[in-house]
Structure 1
C-alpha cells in the first residue's frame, strides 16, 4: 500500500488543483500503473484522515482532493472551470467564527470555508 499511496500522493502533488479519485485513477493508469480504483480511494481517505490532503465537495457532491503546501489552517480560492486552487488565509473569517461561537456559548469552534470563482486564465 505504501508504494501505491506514494503514487497517489505524487499524482496529487503534480496537480495545481483539486482532483477526484476517478481523475487520479485515470492519470495513474495512463502512466502505466496497475493501481485499482479502490486502492486510490483508500489512499486518499488515509491521507485525508492524516491531514496530508484537503478535501472539498463540488456543487455536485463529489469529493475532490488536493495536496496542500501548508499544514496550517487555511482556505482555498478555487476556479470553477479548471479547478486551479490557491491557498488563502482568512483572518476576518477566523475572527467571525470565534466571535459567533462565543456569542452562542460554543467552544472549540471549527469551520470550513472555500471560495469559488473563475481564474484569470479561464476568464480570458
Structure 2
C-alpha cells in the first residue's frame, strides 16, 4: 500500500471527531473523489493501529471503529453509547489488575484493551 493512501486515511480520521467505522471512512474518501478501495482502507487502518496512531474499539454490537489517537501513552476509553463522545482515561487499577491476574496464572508480557461504555451527562440532560 502506498504511503499516500495511508496518509489519506490518516487525514480522514484527523478531520473528524469520535470513532468511525472503516465503511464511514471509505465513504468519506470516495465522496471526496478518492479511488481508494475498502480493502485498502482496512489495511491502512490496521497499519495505523499497529503503529499506535489510531485507537480501535469494539462497539456493543462488535463492530470495530477507529479514531486518531490523541495520546501516546497507554490509555483506555470511556464512550457514550448515545452520542459517541469519547474520553481517554488512565487506568492504573486496571494495569495492576491485568498484571496480577496474568502473574497468578503464569502469564507474562500481558497486554489488554479496556473500553467502558455509559451515557454522558449531556445525553442524560437532553432526555429531560
| TM class by smaller structure | 0.7 to 0.9
Q: CA deviation at 1:44?
A: 0.7
| Residues 34 and 120 of structure 1: CA distance in aligned 2, closer, same or farther (over 3 Å) | farther
**Which portions of structure 1, spanning 4 or more consecutive aligned residues, are displaced by more than 3 angstroms?**
none
Distance 2:109 2:43 in 1: 29
Q: Which residue in the other structure is 2:48 paired with?
A: 47
Q: Which residue in the other structure is 1:86 paired with?
A: 87
Distance 2:82 2:69 in 1: 20
1:4 has 2:5 as partner: yes
Q: CA deviation at 1:101?
A: 2.1
Q: Secondary structure at 1:86's aligned position in 2?
A: strand
Q: Which residue in the other structure is 1:29 paired with?
A: 30
Cα deviation, 1:9-39, whole Å, max 9, x if unaligned, reads 1111222211100011111222232322222
Structure 2 stretches lacking a partner, 5+ long: none
| TM value normalised by structure 2 | 0.85
Distance 2:31 2:52 in 1: 27
Distance 1:121 1:15 in 2: 20
Distance 1:38 1:95 in 2: 38
| TM value normalised by structure 1 | 0.87
